[in-house]
Structure 1
Amino acid sequence: MSDTIAAISTAQGEGGISVIRISGDSAFTVCDKIFKGINNKKLADMKGYTASFGKIVSDGEEIDEAVALVFREPLSYTGENVVELSCHGGIYITKLVLRAVLDAGAVPAQAGEFTKRAFLNGKIDLSEAEAVIDIISAKSRSAARAALCVKEGAVRNKIDEVKNLLLSTAAHLSAWADYPEEDIAEVTDEQLYDSFDVSIAILDGLISSYDSGQAVKQGIDTVIAGRPNVGKSTLMNLLSGCERSIVTDIPGTTRDIIEDTVIVGDVILRLSDTAGLRTTDDKVEKIGVDRAKHRLKQCGLLLAVFDYNRSLDDDDKELIESAGEVPCIAIINKTDLDKQLDTEYIESKIKNVVYLSAKSGEGRAELVKAVEDIAGMDNFNPSEGVLSNERQRQAVLNSLNSVKDAKNALEIGLTYDAITVSIEEAITSLLELTGERTSDEVVDRVFHNFCVGK
């Protein structure tokens, strides 16, 4: 952290502007060597949260015009002195400006090093740091909202509430046991039960919202399946918003799995349009059918498509049986045609049924609602805080189990010393989540996934 680091913080490509971020004790000194403001004022003499327009000069040659933004410690993203140089967004020009900054004394930043310094300088905790990458990679409105709420402390506030409650409980138990001669109020079982029940409720709430949060963040592995010509490819194109799959009236047109990622309402679906399920002597088509059946068993959501204008056959019934093994929405397609399908049979076997004309789009709103319901969006509230990843979930689960152990110890009459051990284990797990007590290896692993410049 003694080095002054620099990196391009905008995307690698042509654009209106590019931003080079410089952070460290010598940020102003480095930038004053290459940035010449039109008012001749040095960046080192400027107040924080101010800007200056000037030119980037290296070896006596003007490279580009730029705007320099000055942030003074500790009121910056990293908690250090920071300068952000906004230059023209050409790939070549941006690299020239970065090279000039490095030649002036800065060193290249590592992946996630700016955010890592923010964490090490106490600007954010580890859960908020992980939310930064979630904001960058968000693919939907809900994913972005959830990540932003975590970045602003939604998870940390809940963790702090439990942590402080358990710390107070443990401190009271220790003081009462270690200093019996002092006038310290006795700890009652009712107080302990209240402390444990509140902690369990908060931690259990975080665990229960995890799967919905992951569906919002990463999407659901979704398979579109059905016999040939029921409209699977038309449905794929409807949800994708483009001609992603070839649509013809020839059975067996789709012979392999076609994939796309789409946003349905507030849910990301990783869609797979599969070959029509039927018995076939065509070797190539049979491979596609076998792959489709294999994907059916592994998906997180099955969109089982049936033809409103055709009677059920054995392939349809086999698909209906498979639907009982995974979350499923039965889509009765081609509702613009005459009814031949036994819809009552399907509704008796599959809970979620949607009537749709994939060709016209009629019924799409009902399909969106069904997808959101099955993803648990009705109970999903980003502002309440959502765990970002399996590391956080495991830490919360460990803490939850330790609190339950403490409560169980109290119920069976163990000593307060035994109860305190479980409480301290619960606190340790929470400290690992926030990064207040964790290994360098864990910290490095968290920031390894960041892009350089963030």
Structure 2
Amino acid sequence: MEKNDSGRSSWENTIAAISTAQGVGGIGVIRVSGRDALAIGDRVFQSSGGKKLSQMKGYTAAYGRIRSNGEDIDEAVALVFRAPHSYTGEDVVEFSCHGGLYLTRRVLRAVLDGGASPAGPGEFTRRAFLNGKMGLTEAEAVMDMIGAKGRQAARTALAGRDGAIHKAIASVKDSLVFTAAHLSAWADYPEEDIPQVEEMELTARLKKAEAALERLLSQYDAGKAIREGLNTVIAGRPNVGKSTLMNLLSGCERSIVTELPGTTRDVVEETVLVGDVTLRLSDTAGIRSTEDLVEQIGVNRAKDRIQTADLVLAVFDASQELNEDDRNLLDSLQGVPSIAVINKTDLDAKIDVKYIKNKVKQIVFLVASEGKGLEDLQQALAELAGTSELEPSEGLLATERQQQAAKEALACVNEGLEALELGMTLDAVTVSIEGAVQALLELTGERASEAVVDQVFHRFCVGK
């Protein structure tokens, strides 16, 4: 544990930070947490009634002024939270002053001059974790709540904050802990009247754990699509309606739309929410053979984007027959998650839909200029991303760290099943089960190393 200049553990310091966005707003909140929070609050805050914060009960508020060096800085409302009934589990004071960079920074400076230390990224939530107010998976969900870009992302993050993934993991972990304990007791104390471990029952327990872990892992990509969005490329030959589709999804004119081929020569990017799926959209240059050097650079960039995309919206003109550029695009989509968007379906159809269906599973018919067919595109996106059947309350793996721990646990469970099938001793099976338990304990944070904890809170913002 780090020590400060006074030799005190850094987690014993009283910390402070601005907890609202760094910008102009109605109010700004400065949070102070630690054993000296109330004393520091009394140094900088003077209530209108003269009552000190250290004399107030938890969950109470007082109106007054922030003062520093005998000077009034701002009006403020002070909220008092008494340990352990606070976000961090420590004594906490929150000052709500007028929003804006100058005033919130002045108030923070007064608090720091009063004896607080600047909080690091995620330090308030880290203290909540260390003080047993939440598990590691719940702490990770806090940042997902802050960064949620849509309804489903917010629901998933809230379920995680409420412990959904912890509960899902606990049911698997508890079963494996019971099994490992039974195996160890039966092996170590043969003289005791301990029921024999039945191989059929042991296999059934491991199979159940395997199925639960496989289900969690199978939903990871869909959950990631909700939280982080899909790197999506809009591709197609010139004048099929790529830029019109980009503007439709963006809700504004992000791309230039003209009848001239080759208008879009570089990649135009935008992040949009389509249904419950966030798309990090890239409108690319029309893919065709061209002698124009600048346009050819754009075409090459479009082809490169297709190969690295999470999703490709391949756009085709329903009123024209497929040409060589269309067929080359379809061939390039093999192995790439794709939706074929057949645009301009209000015109006489000449396109070979059957040929496209043989290349791409998902097809949507659209009139992008009028917004017709957008709901069908939303449904296709949900099906392809796997988000249509997600139920956040059942628990979803939310981070790469959680996914890796779950993979390690599954590998250990599979090793145990393989050991049983090969007729190996139950000691070997016990080692595999204990490995799975250790991976799950690290996932929930019950036995996470300091390095793992550091990794979790490294991505947090200051003030949370």
| Same fold by TM-score greater than 0.5 | yes
Deviations 1:197-254 (A, max 9, x none): 2211221111110011111111111111111111110010001100000000011100
Please report how far the alpha carbon of residue 37 of structure 1 lies from its aligned counterpart in structure 2 after TM superposition.
Answer: 1.5
Q: Do structure 1's residue 389 and structure 2's residue 399 form an aligned pair? A: yes
Structure 2 SS opposite 1:15: coil
Match of 1:187 among 197, 212, 225: 197
In the TM superposition, residue 306 of structure 1 has moved relative to its aligned partner by 0.9
**Which residue of 76, 84, 87 maps to 2:97?**
87
Gap regions ≥5 residues in structure 1 = none
**Equivalent residue number for residue 287 of structure 1:** 297
Q: Is 2:269 the partner of 1:253?
A: no
Letter matched to residue 171 of structure 1: A
> CA RMSD for the aligned pairs?
1.2
SS at match of 2:369: coil
In structure 2, the partner of 1:424 is 434
Q: Superposed, which structure 2 residues align to 1:292-441 within 5 Å?
A: 292-441=302-451
Contact 1:66–1:87, Cα closer than 8 Å, also in 2: yes
* Cα distance in 1, alignment partners of residues 326 and 71 from structure 2: 73
Query: Is the contact made by 2:140 and 2:456 (CA closer than 8 Å) also made in structure 1?
Result: yes
TM-score for the superposition, normalised by structure 1: 0.98
The equivalent of 2:6 in structure 1 is: none
Percent identity of equivalent pairs: 60
Who is 1:244 aligned against? 254
**What SS class does the counterpart of residue 65 from structure 2 fall into?**
strand
SS at 1:305's partner residue?
Answer: strand
Distance of 2:390 and 2:343 partners within structure 1: 29
Q: Distance in 1 between matches of 2:406 and 2:207?
A: 15
Mapped partners of 2:428, 2:373: distance in 1? 59
Equivalences for 1:47-126 in 2 at 5 Å? Answer: 47-126=57-136
Q: CA deviation at 1:286?
A: 0.8
Q: Give the aligned residue type for 1:449.
A: R
Inter-partner Cα distance in structure 2 for 1:347 and 1:183:
65
Deviation, structure 1 residue 50: 1.3
Check the 8 A contact 1:310/1:341 in 2, yes or no.
yes
Unaligned runs of at least 5 residues, structure 2: 1-10
**Greater mean deviation of Cα atoms: 55-64 or 268-277:** 55-64
Is the Cα contact below 8 Å between 2:22 and 2:100 reproduced in 1?
no
Look up the match of 2:34: 24
Give the distance between the partners of 1:231 and 1:378, measured in 2 at CA: 27
Q: Name the counterpart of 2:7.
A: none
SS across alignment from 2:358: helix
Determine the structure 2 residue equivalent to 1:444: 454
How far 1:350 moved relative to its partner?
Answer: 2.1
Q: CA deviation at 1:417?
A: 1.6
Give the counterpart of 1:276 among 281, 286, 292.
286
For residue 460 of structure 2, what is the amino acid of its counterpart? F
Contact 1:32/1:42 (8 A) holds in 2: yes
Q: Deviations over 1:56-92 (max 9, x none)?
A: 1212221111111111111111111111111111211
C-alpha deviation, 1:121, in angstroms: 0.9
**Counterpart in 1 of 2:46?**
36
Hey, what's the Cα distance between the residues in 2 that align with 1:271 and 1:175?
57
Question: TM-score, normalised on structure 2?
Answer: 0.95
SS at 1:413 equivalent: coil
SS at structure 2 position matched to 1:33: helix
Determine the C-alpha separation between the residues in 1 that align with 2:72 and 2:211. 62
What is the count of residue pairs matched by the alignment?
454
Aligned to 1:6: 16
